Each structure stands twice: as C-alpha cells, then as structure tokens.
Structure 1
Amino acid sequence: MIYLSLVFFQVVAPILIMLGIGATMQLKFKLNLKALSNLITYCLMPAAVFINIYETKVNAGVLGQIISYLLVFSVCLMLLGSIVSKLLKLNRNQAAIYKNSIVLINSGNYGIPVSQLLFSANPLGTSIQIIIVIFQNIITYTYGLYNLISSTKSGLDILRSLLRLPIVHALILGALMNILDIGIPTFLRIPLDYLANAFISIALITLGAQLAQLDIKTIINKVILTSTIGRLVLGPILAFGLILLMGLDGVVAQSLFIASAFPTSRNSSTLALEYDVEPNMAAQIVLFSTVVSCITVTVVIYLSNILWG
C-alpha cells in the first residue's frame, strides 16, 4: 500500500496537477487550443519522438515482438467493442463511438508524459510508447475513421492523412540517424532538447484545457460506464494475458502493460465532433475515462513493477 501511494504521488499526482493547471488556464483565459494543438503536433511531439528514437537502441527482434503484440491486442479490442456494442443493442452511431472508445487510446499527450516520468533512466520504455503512438495514429485514421465515415473517406485520403503526420517523419529520421550513427551538431541538438523537454508540460496543460471545455450535459449512462470499464479494466487484463502468452518480460512487458491502461483518446472525441456522430457522448467518455484512469493507471503501474520491475 505504501508503494502504491508512492506511485500515485510520484507519477499520477504530477499529471493531475498539470491537467488542473491547464483546466484553470482554459476557464480563466480561454486558451487557443487549436494553436496549442498545432504546437504539440508539428513541433514539440516530433522533437520528443526524434530524440527518444535517436538515443535508443531497439533490436529487430524486440521491435517485431512489439508490433506483433500491438496487432493482436488491437484486434482483440476491436472484437470486444463489437461484441459488447451488440449486447448493449446500441444504434449505429452509438456503436461507432463505443468501439472507438475501446480501441483508440490516449497514448500521445497522456501516454508519452507518463512513460517519460516512469522510464527517465531507461529510454527504451519511452521509445516503446512512441512506437505505440505511431501505431495508434494508424488505427485512428483507418479503423476509427471507418467506424464514423466508412462511406465518405477513401483509402488514399487515409494514407495521405498518415503521411502528413510529423511524428512519422521524426520517427523515420531518428531511426535512420540512429542506425547510421550520424551525429547531431550542437547548434541543432540544443534547440531539439529544449523542444523535447517542453513537450510534457505543454501536452498535459493542453489536455487539461481540452477536458475543461468538454460539453457535459447528461449523467453517466451504460455506454459511458461500460466503455470506461472496457478501456481501463478489460484492456489491461487482456494485455496481461497476451504478455504472458508471448513471453515478454522486463521493460518491454512493463511498457506495454502500462500503455494498455491509458484512457480513451481525445481523437475519438475530435473525430466524432468533426463528423457529427454523437459528439457529446464521445466527449463524456473521454472525460470520464481520463478521470477514472487516475486510479487504474496507478494500480497498473504498481502491478507492473511487482511483475516485471
């Protein structure tokens, strides 16, 4: 219990404080969230991704294990979302939101800061989270979009959306420079470090500001409750089983297990709003799962240290 409280106060509580600062700033000053989002997407996150990939050695065997795990894990979540949405007898729009809420995980401006705090002494942990971010973006702009607008979005449009993501370019460049052992001049490395170090604080403040402006009008219903249970409870249980089945261990197992407990991605709410598919329900799910994750992520981090620490 003592260690569990340490995990909360050393990892989760700092995140909550940053979210609170972001929410307060939004309520008081009405921050330009579009500008902040662009700053993160096109500047800070690519810098953080580049530096972490550049400094980390991930052998082909480990990379293959991670990708194999992510594929199986995601397919299982898709099946879970489809089955439960049918059991709940949801209409088409509600089912789309529900399935996205289970599969799309906030591995970017929630997951990476958590990983950087947890694995500050071991860059491999953060690099695995970055791989998960890339994978989640692919899932978002394929499966997530298909659920919402399967009849209006072509495969070519989806591919273009992916290729425009700066983190993809940063990942490729960082990996190439890592493999080829290309040095970074000091006059470039210093600003890159500044940008990468700024990512955690700006990302969490922005997330807090986004949560503060979500439109919450109804009480918690069966869709919100079951999606939160699916994302925060069943997700880690499924991940634990797959990790044991695939024989993963150490930092790899820890990183993947912890990543399975992150809340529903804000992108699920953004897409729902953009295409007008139950946007209020999607926003409520994001907010509720983020709040509850403060408890579940603490427990999962605690268990990961016991199992593979």
Structure 2
Amino acid sequence: MTTLLHILTHNVIPLTIMIGLGMLLQRAFKLDIKTLSKLNFYLFSPGVAFVMLYNSSLSFEVILEVLLFFSIFFIALIVVVEIVVRLRRYRPGMRSAMRNSVLFYNSANYAIPLNQLVFVNDPFTLSIQIIIMMMQNLIPNTYGVYSVNAHKQTLRQTLRTIASLPTIYVIPFVILLRVFDIPVPEPIWIPLNYIASGFIVTALVTLGVQLGSMNWSLRLADVLLSNALRLCVSPLLGFLVVLLLGIQGTTAQALVLSCAVPTSLSSVLLAVEFDNEPEFASQVVFASTLFSVFTVTIVIYLLQYVG
C-alpha cells in the first residue's frame, strides 16, 4: 500500500496536474499545438538527452549487456504488436499509431524516478535505466518518424525529415565527449540545464493542450488494447528475455522494471507533429499513465521472483 501511495503521489498525480494545466490553458487561450510540438522536438528533447547522457556513469560491460537485452526485447515487442495490428486490420495510419503507443515508453521522467524509488538511489540501476532512456530517445526520432510517415511520404522525404531532427546527432556527440573526457564550457552547460529542466513541463503541457483541443470520442477498445500490450505484455516479455539471457540479480530486476512503464509522450509528439491519429495517441498516454499505478505496483511486487 505504501508503494502504491508513493507512486500515486510522486508520479501519477504530478503528471496529471501538469496535463490538466495544459488542458485549462488550451480552453482559455487556444494555444498552437504545432509550435509546442516543435519546441519539444527541436529544443527540449535533445537538451534533456544531452544532459542526462553526459551526467551518467556507464561501464562498457553494463552497456553491452543492457543493449543486448534491449535489442531482443524490442524485436520481440515489435513482433507481438505487428501480429495484433494485422489481426485488427487497422488502416496504415492507425497501424503506426498503435505501434508507437506500445513500442515507445516513458523511460525518462517516469522510469528514472521509479527506478530510484524501487532501488533506493542505486547508481548502478540508474545507469541501466539511462541506457534504456538513450535508446528510447533515439528510436522515436528514427523508426518512429519513419513509421508515421511511411504510408504518406517517399522514403527520401522521410529520411530527410529524420535527418532534420537534432536528437539523432546529440547522442553520438555526447558519447564522443564522454569517451575523450571533453568538458562542456560553463556558459553552454548552464543553458543546457535550463532546457533539460523544461522538458517534462513542456511535454506534459503539450499533451494537455492536445487533450483539451480534441474531440473526446473515446476509442475504448483500441486504447485498452494498447494499454494491455504496454503495461502487461511488455514486462512479461522483459521477464522472458531476462530468463533467456541468464541475467540475474539487481540487473535483471532493473531491466524488467524498465519494461513496465506507461506509453511515452513521444508517441503524442509524433502524432501531433506529423498529424497521425493524435486523439488516439493522447488518450493512450493519459490512460496508460493512470492505469500504471496499479500495474507497476504489481510488477514491483513480483520483482522479488526475478533473478
């Protein structure tokens, strides 16, 4: 019960308040959702990726183990989602929206504080989550952009769109800075910290603005299907991959927990920026965040049987 209340008060309620403020602002002022989306894609997302990756301490062995786990897990999740969308016979736009709602999960502003709550500020498990966050930051800006545009753009146009996104350059750039131990000058580091601090607020307000401006014709079956895949099937797959690879102990627990978090705001930002089922994407993020207080608590309880 204590864990449930902590997750509720430290994750779900704060997120919901920020989303609610975005909805109120939209009702009062009719904000431009496209401008907010571009701020997220071209300023706040690359900023937070830079700061978090630069500040993390990662060993080569942990990186390889986590990347192997993530690759197998992600491919398995793609296969499951692909089977579902084909059985449901979705049209192309809805196929990509459903894929993104399951494949892209909240590995930063939800999973990182959750990781540190469960593992009591353990820097080792934080490093594991940072690697997952890095991959979950990179994939929406590459595969995610391709997914929402493949049915309406040529491959060259889609690749041009991907090449225009700064996050895909930020990640290898930060890795080079870390490898060669290059310090970031203070006049640059200070504004980068300001930008990173603004990511969560801007992303959540953007979601609220989208929710406040959409027609609430709830697509209950599709939303619940996405939530079930994200919150229930995903951690189960994570557990199976951990067993397959023989990963044990705290590493195994941290990896399974990383798979259990709700749908990422990236799916909403992609949907809004490229006009691909934005109402469905917004409803999925909102619902999965609320339902996660129950499903994540169950996963935390079951971690004692992992590893």
> Which TM-score tier does this pair reach, normalised by the shorter chain?
0.7 to 0.9
CA distance in 2, matches of 1:203, 1:19: 9
1:139-166 per-position Cα deviation (integer Å, ceiling 9, x unaligned): 31344544x44xx431x43333333221
Aligned in 2, Cα 1:275/1:194: closer, same or farther, shift over 3 Å? closer
Contact persistence 1:82–1:99 (CA under 8 A): no
Contact persistence 1:54–1:174 (CA under 8 A): yes
How much does 1:270 deviate?
Answer: 6.4
Contact persistence 2:23–2:209 (CA under 8 A): yes
Which residues of 2 match residues 60-71 of structure 1 at below 5 A?
A: 60-71=60-71
How much does 1:91 deviate?
Answer: 4.7
CA distance in 2, matches of 1:200, 1:278: 22
CA distance in 2, matches of 1:264, 1:59: 28
Q: Give the equivalent residue in structure 1 for 2:110.
A: 114
Tell me whether 268-277 or 36-45 shows the greater mean CA deviation. 268-277
Q: Give the equivalent residue in structure 2 for 1:22.
A: 22
Aligned in 2, Cα 1:113/1:160: closer, same or farther, shift over 3 Å? same
Aligned in 2, Cα 1:301/1:144: closer, same or farther, shift over 3 Å? farther
Contact persistence 2:232–2:260 (CA under 8 A): yes
1:105-139 per-position Cα deviation (integer Å, ceiling 9, x unaligned): 244xxx32113434575452335312222134333
Aligned in 2, Cα 1:173/1:301: closer, same or farther, shift over 3 Å? farther
Using the size of structure 2 for normalisation, the TM-score is: 0.80
Q: Give the equivalent residue in structure 2 for 1:46.
A: 46
CA distance in 2, matches of 1:276, 1:44: 20
Q: Give the equivalent residue in structure 1 for 2:36.
A: 36
CA distance in 1, matches of 2:26, 2:114: 28
How much does 1:202 deviate?
Answer: 2.2
Aligned in 2, Cα 1:170/1:212: closer, same or farther, shift over 3 Å? same
Instruction: State the one-letter code of the partner of 1:131.
Output: M
Contact persistence 1:47–1:196 (CA under 8 A): yes
Matched, 1:131 2:135: yes
How much does 1:188 deviate?
Answer: 1.9
Aligned in 2, Cα 1:136/1:28: closer, same or farther, shift over 3 Å? same
Which residues of 2 match residues 86-165 of structure 1 at below 5 A?
A: 86-88=86-88, 90-93=89-92, 96-97=95-96, 99-101=98-100, 103-107=102-106, 111-118=107-114, 121=121, 122=123, 124=127, 125-146=129-150, 148-149=151-152, 152-154=153-155, 156-165=156-165
How much does 1:211 deviate?
Answer: 2.7
How much does 1:234 deviate?
Answer: 0.9
- Name the SS for the 1:113 alignment partner: coil
How much does 1:238 deviate?
Answer: 1.0
CA distance in 1, matches of 2:11, 2:243: 25
CA distance in 2, matches of 1:271, 1:47: 18
CA distance in 2, matches of 1:255, 1:36: 33
1:190-222 per-position Cα deviation (integer Å, ceiling 9, x unaligned): 22222222222222222222233232225523x
How much does 1:103 deviate?
Answer: 4.0
Which residues of 2 match residues 186-201 of structure 1 at below 5 A?
A: 186-201=186-201
CA RMSD of aligned residues (A): 3.3
Count of matched residue pairs: 299
Instruction: State the one-letter code of the partner of 1:105.
Output: F
Unaligned 5+ runs, structure 1 = none
Contact persistence 2:51–2:193 (CA under 8 A): yes
Contact persistence 1:106–1:265 (CA under 8 A): yes
CA distance in 2, matches of 1:276, 1:27: 21
CA distance in 2, matches of 1:218, 1:11: 24
Aligned in 2, Cα 1:208/1:244: closer, same or farther, shift over 3 Å? farther
Contact persistence 2:211–2:279 (CA under 8 A): no
Q: Percent identical across equivalent pairs?
A: 31
How much does 1:181 deviate?
Answer: 0.8
How much does 1:280 deviate?
Answer: 5.3
Aligned in 2, Cα 1:270/1:54: closer, same or farther, shift over 3 Å? closer
How much does 1:293 deviate?
Answer: 3.4
Aligned in 2, Cα 1:24/1:153: closer, same or farther, shift over 3 Å? same
